[in-house]
A and B are shown apart, each in its own frame.
Chain A
Amino acid sequence: MSEPAAPPEPAASPEPTAPPEPAASPPESTRTGPGRLLVAVYGLFALSASARAAVQIATKFGHAPVAYLLSAFAAVVYILATVTLTVGSPTARRIAVLSCSVELAGVLAVGTWSLVDPATFPDATVWSGYGSGYGFVPLVLPVFGLLWLRHWARRPVVADGVAGAPTQKYVASSGSASGSRTISKTGRDEEGERRWRSEPLPAALRAGMSSLPQPIATLSRH
């Protein structure tokens, strides 16, 4: 760059005239934003539940075997949710939905069980009394986890580290208006439809689509 005899390059392109957003904001994931708090609380419960279960099972398993095994199960669910929410890939999000659902079902089932049949629980689990020993956080946590994951499932653009790229690829593969017709006819590409609805289409493409048959042209209205 400092060499004056260098061939005339477009000096502006590597200079910081580009929009600063990609560098300024971290890549979005299930572990950023509100997810940062969610993962922190899940990690806390993963640690405390597994440590508690380990001590209970190692030192006095015969005292309350059902309670301690349920504690260990809860620990596994919390660990799974923590890891999958941190990773945040599509597969991890699916596993996270599963573990949050199991967690919600578990806290409701064990909470009811512990109230109906206290004799089975001489010692408490994380989920006893709907998590009353933990400020009912175990009851609230899976609800927020599932809401957060649903928010992600409804996100228009895939943000797994390639923000912007999916839309670009999709438009490029469609090419002309006839190309986009071919793609639109291939059944229900739900993810693609979401992108179409949320992203402002290029003006030329939109003009081409408005001349298309009705079911396809409705896509451009969103």
Chain B
Amino acid sequence: MSSVNGAVSTTIIVAGLALAGYALLMTVINHRMNVPLLAATGVLEILLLVQVGIIVAKLAGGERPASLATLIGYLIATPLVPVAAVFWGLMERSRWGPAVIAVAGLVAAVLMVRLHQIWPVIHV
């Protein structure tokens, strides 16, 4: 119970990078936003919410990171990344909508690394 299982973080990194690759491919071949891409972004969102839930449970257990304010900021911002990307990307009726989703996938992967730096008990 001293550390967070790294499986969720690893899954999010893989899923984020895969989503970014898929979305970038759509941009390259000039495709707009479509339902499969939205579904994939939804899967990433669910994974991020699971991760946030795990960390909140750990905080509720009494453990604290060095910088609690930073961690709470990340916990709030992380699940908003795919949501904001979907809203912003759906407003675009061109290949550049999926490009926004690609950014969200990359950011999700980077955020997992940053969470580990903020609180090393969150394994990657």
Q: Whole-angstrom distance from the CB of B44 to the nearest CB of chain A?
A: 16
Closest Cβ neighbor of B95 among chain A residues: A33
Q: Which residues of A contact B48 (CB under 8 A)?
A: none
Q: Which residues of A contact B85 (CB under 8 A)?
A: 40
Closest Cβ neighbor of A52 among chain B residues: B70
Provided the pairs A37-B99, A47-B77, A51-B77 are in contact, do residues A26 and B67 lie with their beta carbons within 8 angstroms?
Answer: no
Closest Cβ neighbor of A135 among chain B residues: B110
Evaluate contact between A55 and B100: CB separation under 8 angstroms: no
- Bound complex: CA A44 to CA B85 (Å): 10
> Is B5 on the interface with A (CB-CB < 8 A)?
no
Closest Cβ neighbor of B103 among chain A residues: A40
Q: Whole-angstrom distance from the CB of B106 to the nearest CB of chain A?
A: 9
Q: Which residues of A contact B99 (CB under 8 A)?
A: 36-37
- Bound complex: CA A32 to CA B88 (Å): 10
Evaluate contact between A36 and B73: CB separation under 8 angstroms: no
Evaluate contact between B96 and A41: CB separation under 8 angstroms: no
- Bound complex: CA A35 to CA B92 (Å): 10
Evaluate contact between B93 and A55: CB separation under 8 angstroms: no
Dominant secondary structure at the B interface: helix
Size of interface on B: residues with Cβ below 8 Å to A: 19
The answer, among B67, B84, B92, for a CB contact under 8 Å with A36, is B92
The answer, among A35, A37, A41, A59, for a CB contact under 8 Å with B67, is A59
> Is B91 on the interface with A (CB-CB < 8 A)?
yes
> Is A25 on the interface with B (CB-CB < 8 A)?
yes
Which 5 residue pairs of A and B lie closest in terms of their CB atoms, listed nearest first? A37-B99, A36-B96, A36-B92, A40-B100, A37-B96
A-B residue pairs in contact (CB < 8 Å), sample of 29? A26-B91, A26-B92, A32-B92, A32-B94, A33-B92, A33-B94, A33-B96, A34-B96, A36-B89, A36-B91, A36-B92, A36-B96, A36-B97, A36-B99, A37-B100, A37-B103, A40-B88, A40-B89, A40-B100, A40-B103, A41-B103, A44-B103, A44-B107, A51-B77, A55-B69, A55-B70, A58-B69, A59-B67, A59-B69
Residues of chain B at the chain A interface (Cβ within 8 Å): 67, 69-70, 73, 77, 84-85, 88-89, 91-94, 96-97, 99-100, 103, 107
